[in-house]
Amino acid sequence: MRIDGRKNEQIRQVNIIRNYNKYAEGSVLIESGNTRVICTASIEDKVPIFLKGKGEGWITCEYSMIPRATQIRKIRDAVRGKIDGRTMEIQRLIGRSLRSVVDMKALGEKTIWIDCDVIQADGGTRTTSITGAFIALVDAVNSLHKKKSFKVYPIRNFVSAISVGIVNGDKMLDLCYQEDSNASVDMNIVMTDEEEYIEIQGTGEKNPFSKKDFNELLELAEKGIKNVISIQKGVLKNDCLWIGTGEEIG
């Protein structure tokens, strides 16, 4: 049994509250164990300069932790005067993950800003952010549909992410902070509902790991992501019926 009583192949309890923010076109509070993230999706009727006139949209992300999301207070980036490398890496990962499942031409010349703010961190903040941000994205896209329907629905697939690792010789799914900090191998996997990989981040923190270990961790992550996507579908219910159809909306 693990620190929180889970089996090695068991994800943490996931709770998702939609429409958490009054003003954003899409927003959720997502809890994965003791990790909690507020994800919002905001729509702008413009695109970056490099996309102007191309008839394509864009999705980008900002990620941050509030100062007491962690056990020791973290100084705000605004006070430090720069974004740290970890924050930059994570927000780029979230943006890439969401863009990979969206038809930018179908979206049209609009930018969707994804903001992921960690209010409590206990491991898996980047993976939890991707899972929650996708639901906020769906709600934002559906808010556009209510105003003027798309010719083709822009979101092609579900996307979610989860962590896996080897801790004290055991392969574990969805690591909490204490497990992650003691892992000899640590991986973050991003996948679609069609079992396609978007990103694999894997590190031998203490020792190299074998191809057999790698494959077994991927299989473990796949099981976990299927579980989380099932939760996403349950939360969205009838609001996700057009995802992946590629059909015109009437």
pLDDT at 246: 67
Question: What's the mean pLDDT in 103-123?
Answer: 97
Both tokens of 178, joined, read 């204490």
pLDDT at 119: 98
pLDDT at 145: 86
CATH code for the part of the protein at 14-236: 3.30.230.70
Q: What is the CA radius of gyration of the chain?
A: 18
Question: How does pLDDT run across 139-173, given as a tens digit for each residue?
Answer: 999 999 888 778 899 999 999 999 999 999 999 99
User: Is residue 76 annotated as involved in ligand binding?
Assistant: no
Question: What's the mean pLDDT in 223-234?
Answer: 98
Give the chain as a DSSP string.
--TTS--TT-PPPEEEEES-SSSSSEEEEEEETTEEEEEEEEEES---GGGTTTT--EEEEEEEE-GGGSSSPPPPHHHHTS--HHHHHHHHHHHHHHHTTB-HHHH-S-EEEEEEEEEE-SS-HHHHHHHHHHHHHHHHHHHHHHHS--SS-SB-S-EEEEEEEEETTEEEES--HHHHHTEEEEEEEEEETTS-EEEEEEEESSS---HHHHHHHHHHHHHHHHHHHHHHHHHHGGGGTTTTT-PPP-
pLDDT over 70 at 127, yes or no: yes
User: Is residue 125 annotated as involved in ligand binding?
Assistant: yes
Domain segments of the chain as ranges = 14-236
| Pairwise pLDDT comparison (249 vs 19), residue with the higher score | 19
Give the mean pLDDT of the chain.
94
Question: How does pLDDT run across 77-112, given as a tens digit for each residue?
Answer: 888 888 889 999 999 999 999 999 999 999 999 999
